[in-house]
């Protein structure tokens, strides 16, 4: 049976896909998005859809372990990364994943983090009231085994005093979260802007 999904969550997900597609951050069928719903439910994109052309049927519901309410539907292949964020960070209300050129190029060359410092746009991240700050954006090795990748991500958070607003997966893409979809999009745009600056600086 098809579970009910609040229209606001569906529209937030469809809108995020259109906006990210305009920036060319979701090529082919890349990317996935989700919104936390009450009662331990998560509205998330179905696997294999072009994220610039989502419709109401492109969104489904899983629980916080990634189990679909409707077993006939296949959720994003990376559902467990979304669930890991919701389980770990109670304030997370929306999660975005995209594949930009900047996050792909920079993560391929990076060690275990990318430092962003001195950018005015750092102020778009929580708790940073000035450009005189720096953020180490974690970079994880890519892995097609998503439960294993999620375990690695979780163990990195255990060792960090302050949690960054997102992370990169090497040669793959970015994950960002925030209390709601608008805030997640703002954080993602800020992060992608700074990564693009870094990429151009390193090229010149």
Ligand X SMILES: CSC[C@@H](O)[C@@H](O)C(=O)COP(=O)(O)O
SS3 63: strand
Which of residues 11 and 47 has its CB atom nearest to ligand X in the complex? Answer: 47
Sheet with 173-178: list strands edge to edge.
59-63, 41-45, 32-37, 94-98, 173-178, 166-169, 134-140, 113-117
Contacts to ligand X from residues 94-153, by CB under 6 A: 97
132 phi/psi in degrees, rounded to 5:
-80, 65
1 binds ligand X (CB under 6 A): no
Which of residues 77 and 115 has its CB atom nearest to Zn ion in the complex? Answer: 77
Instruction: Residue count of the chain, please give it.
Output: 204
Considering only the stretches 41-49, 80-88, 118-126, 158-166, report the one whose residues sit in contact with ligand X under the rule CB under 6 A.
41-49
Q: Decide: 174 and 97 in contact? Cβ < 8 Å.
A: yes
Task: Give CA–CA dist 75/73, Å, rounded.
Answer: 6
Total residues interacting with ligand X, rule: CB under 6 A: 12
59 phi/psi in degrees, rounded to 5:
-115, 140
Which of residues 20 and 121 has its CB atom nearest to Zn ion in the complex? Answer: 20
Q: What are the E-state strand segments in the chain? A: 32-37, 41-45, 59-63, 94-98, 113-117, 134-140, 166-169, 173-178
**Residue with tokens 């006939």, as numbered in its chain:** 72
Task: Give CA–CA dist 71/74, Å, rounded.
Answer: 7
Contacts to ligand X from residues 45-74, by CB under 6 A: 45, 47-48
With CB cut-offs between 5 and 8 Å by kind, which of ligand X, Zn ion, none does residue 77 bind? Answer: ligand X
Which of residues 100 and 116 has its CB atom nearest to ligand X in the complex? Answer: 100
Least distance between ligand X and beta carbon 78 (Å): 5
Least distance between Zn ion and beta carbon 12 (Å): 19
With CB cut-offs between 5 and 8 Å by kind, which of Zn ion, ligand X, none does residue 47 bind? Answer: ligand X
97 is in an annotated binding site: yes
Pull the structure tokens for residue 18: 């259109």
Single residue of 12, 14, 32, 121 touching ligand X by CB under 6 A? 32
31 binds ligand X (CB under 6 A): yes
172 is in an annotated binding site: no
Binding site for Zn ion (CB under 5 A): 173
Site of interaction with ligand X (CB under 6 A) = 28-32, 45, 47-48, 76-78, 97
- Binding-site residues sit at 97, 99
- Binding-site residues for Zn(2+) sit at 97, 99
């Amino acid at each position: 049976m098809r579970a009910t999904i609040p229209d606001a969550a569906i529209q937030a997900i469809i809108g995020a896909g259109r906006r990210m597609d305009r920036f060319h951050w979701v090529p082919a069928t890349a990317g996935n998005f989700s919104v936390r719903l009450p009662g331990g439910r998560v509205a998330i994109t179905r696997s294999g859809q072009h994220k610039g052309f989502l419709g109401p049927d492109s969104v489904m519901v899983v629980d916080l372990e990634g189990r679909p309410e409707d077993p006939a539907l296949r959720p994003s292949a990376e559902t467990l990364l979304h669930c890991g964020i919701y389980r770990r960070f109670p304030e997370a209300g929306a999660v975005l994943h995209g594949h930009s050129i900047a996050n792909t190029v920079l993560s391929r060359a990076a060690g275990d983090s990318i430092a962003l410092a001195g950018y005015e746009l750092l102020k778009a991240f929580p708790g940073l009231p000035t450009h005189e700050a720096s953020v180490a954006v974690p970079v994880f090795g890519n892995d097609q085994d998503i439960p294993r990748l999620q375990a690695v991500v979780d163990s990195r958070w255990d060792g960090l005093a302050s949690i960054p607003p997102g992370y990169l997966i090497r040669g793959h893409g970015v994950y960002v979260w925030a209390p709601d979809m608008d805030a997640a999009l703002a954080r993602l745009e800020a992060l992608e802007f700074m990564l693009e600056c870094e990429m151009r600086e390193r090229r010149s």
